[in-house]
Amino acid sequence: MKALSILSKLGVFAFILIVLGEVMSHSMWDASGSAPSTLDFALSLYGEWALATVILGLLLAMAMIGASYLVRDERLINLLWDMGGDVE
């Protein structure tokens, strides 16, 4: 079982290296193009990608609300301690 775990970790590492190599060899990384400015990024984010930005914001808000709900501790001893009472 341990060998399978090590083999899977090596496989994931090799996959990441292959994907990284393919991405870095793409033609969009050549030096002939000009880099976009922050204004271009902002215009595309809130212009062309406005709906995706809103949906992503809603998903992140739902995740934060869910995480705060899961972290709450509602055991009786903690509820009584918060209210200043003694546990009997």
Task: Determine the pLDDT at residue 17.
Answer: 96
Helix residue ranges, H only, the chain: 2-24, 38-43, 50-71, 76-83
What's the CA gap between 35 and 29, in Å, rounded?
A: 10
> Is this prediction's pTM over 0.75?
no
What's the CA gap between 57 and 22, in Å, rounded?
A: 31
Is it the case that residue 32 has pLDDT exceeding 70? no
- Name the percent of the chain lying above pLDDT 70: 86
Location of structure tokens 């914001």: 57
**80 touches 86 (CB < 8 A):** yes
